[in-house]
Amino acid sequence: MSNKYTVFIICKNEEVFNEKCIMLKPFMKKICNIVWIPAIFLKSTACNKKLTKKLNTRYNTSKKSILYKLGCISAHRNALLGIINNQSTNNLILEEDAVIQKNLPKPPPSSCYVGGWIVPPLISNAGKVKVSIPNIKKNALNNIDYDKFMILTTHSLFIKTVTEAKEILYDTIDKESIKNYDIYLANNKILDTFYYPPMFVQGKHVSEIDGKVNKNDSNTTNYGL
Domain boundaries defined on the chain: 5-224
What confidence score (pLDDT) does residue 1 get?
57
Q: Does domain 5-224 have CATH number 3.20.20?
A: no
- Per-residue tens of pLDDT for the chain, all 225 residues: 579 999 999 999 999 999 999 999 999 999 999 999 999 987 777 666 676 677 777 666 777 888 888 889 999 999 999 999 999 999 999 999 999 998 999 999 999 999 999 999 998 899 899 999 999 999 999 999 999 999 999 999 999 999 999 999 999 988 777 889 999 999 999 999 999 999 999 987 666 555 666 677 889 999 999
DSSP secondary structure string for all residues of 34-51: EEEEE-------HHHHHH
Report pTM.
0.92
94: helix, coil or strand?
Answer: strand
First to last CA, the chain: 34
